[in-house]
């Protein structure tokens, strides 16, 4: 029998106790589950930017994966906790736009529900540990194709963000090499499309080896997103880029 798979997508960072505490809950409540840390450094306090990253990375995981997603600047406020089943995968996290693009691009959404179960301990500031991790553990116990009962979650209409574009021309993430990932899918652009960052025009190239050393360019990254890079350099420093910055797309 395949072990349940729970995948972290958070803005907690690698330092500090937060991922460890969530992992402890999963080890206690679902010791049979395998846990993978996909993103621990998603854009801090930015559900929108994370919403455009998430669909590009979930495709590597098998159907039935449980994505435990916490980018939750409104924790303890009036935002609702959600559980979704979209295209055969589970998503657990806050109803703050984090799942907007998952919902928009899904072929099938079999469940969208508000988590109504209340744990014995629910801190005002750490729902990742006290609410979302236990719910993810409970989903790990479900038989394939089963849905949670009404004591755990009740169907609802998630908050939607119709004004968000289908492609986001902003920097959504900067990796350890200084490459800037955007919220736009490369397939939405022609081969001749040019990105402008400040007063610099960036051509499209296939990969790093096609660029002279220190040349800035953009390419379709391994997960289908537009990514800005400098061959053997740091695009964030060379182009003065930061998470959230806008980019301009021009086409011939």
- Residue ranges covered by each domain of the chain: 5-155, 168-250
Q: Give the global pTM.
A: 0.95
Q: What is the pLDDT of residues 69-84, one digit of tens each?
A: 999 999 999 999 999 9
Q: What pLDDT, on the 0 to 100 scale, is given for residue 155? A: 96
Structure tokens that stand for 63 in this block: 């159907």
pLDDT of residue 20: 97
Residue 1 has pLDDT above 70, yes or no: no
Phi, psi of 23 (to 5 degrees): -65, -35
Would you say 225 and 186 are in contact if contact means Cβ atoms under 8 Å apart? yes
Q: Which overall architecture, per CATH, does domain 168-250 show?
A: Beta Barrel (2.40)
Q: What is the pLDDT of residues 100-127, one digit of tens each?
A: 999 999 999 999 999 999 999 999 999 9
Q: What is the mean pLDDT of residues 32-43?
A: 97
Q: Average pLDDT, whole number, for the chain? A: 96
Q: What is the mean pLDDT of residues 212-238?
A: 97
In the sheet with 248-250, reading across from the earlier edge strand, the strands are: 200-202, 194-197, 248-250
> DSSP letter string over 59-107?
GGS-TT-EEEEE--TTTTSSPPEEEEEETTEEEEEESSSTTHHHHHH-S
Question: How confident is residue 251, by pLDDT bands cut at 50, 70 and 90?
Answer: confident
Please compute the mean of the pLDDT values over residues 2-21 and round it to a whole number.
96
Give me Rg for the CA atoms of the chain: 19
Instruction: Decide if 5-155 and 168-250 have a common fold.
Output: no
Query: Given 3.40.50.2300, 2.20.130.10, 3.40.50.10790, 3.30.230.10, which CATH number is that of 5-155?
Result: 3.40.50.10790
In this prediction, residue 145 carries a pLDDT of 77
Distance between CA atoms of 238 and 245, rounded to whole angstroms? 14
Token representation of residue 248: 């301009």
Residue 133 near residue 81, CB atoms below 8 Å: no
């Amino acid at each position: 029998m395949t072990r349940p798979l729970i995948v972290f997508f958070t803005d907690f960072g690698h330092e500090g106790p937060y991922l460890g505490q969530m992992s402890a809950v999963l080890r206690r409540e679902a010791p049979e589950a395998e846990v993978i840390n996909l993103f621990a450094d998603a854009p801090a306090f930015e559900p929108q930017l994370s919403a455009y990253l998430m669909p590009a990375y979930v495709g590597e995981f098998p159907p039935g994966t449980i994505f435990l997603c916490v980018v939750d600047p409104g924790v303890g406020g009036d935002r609702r906790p959600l559980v979704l089943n979209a295209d055969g995968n589970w998503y657990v996290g806050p109803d703050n736009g984090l799942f907007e693009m998952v919902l928009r691009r899904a072929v099938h959404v079999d469940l969208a529900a508000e988590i109504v179960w209340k744990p014995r301990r629910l801190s005002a500031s750490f729902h990742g540990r006290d609410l979302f991790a236990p719910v993810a553990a409970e989903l790990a116990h479900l038989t394939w194709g089963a849905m949670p009962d009404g004591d755990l979650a009740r169907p609802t209409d998630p908050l939607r963000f119709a004004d968000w574009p289908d492609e986001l021309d902003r920097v959504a993430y900067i990796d350890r090499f200084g490459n800037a990932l955007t919220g736009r899918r490369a397939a939405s652009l022609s081969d001749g499309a040019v990105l402008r960052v400040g007063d610099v025009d960036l051509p499209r190239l296939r990969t790093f080896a096609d660029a002279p050393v220190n040349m800035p360019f953009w390419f379709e990254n391994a997960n289908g997103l537009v990514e800005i890079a400098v061959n053997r350099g740091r695009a964030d420093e060379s182009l003065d880029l930061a998470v959230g910055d806008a980019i301009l797309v021009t086409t011939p």
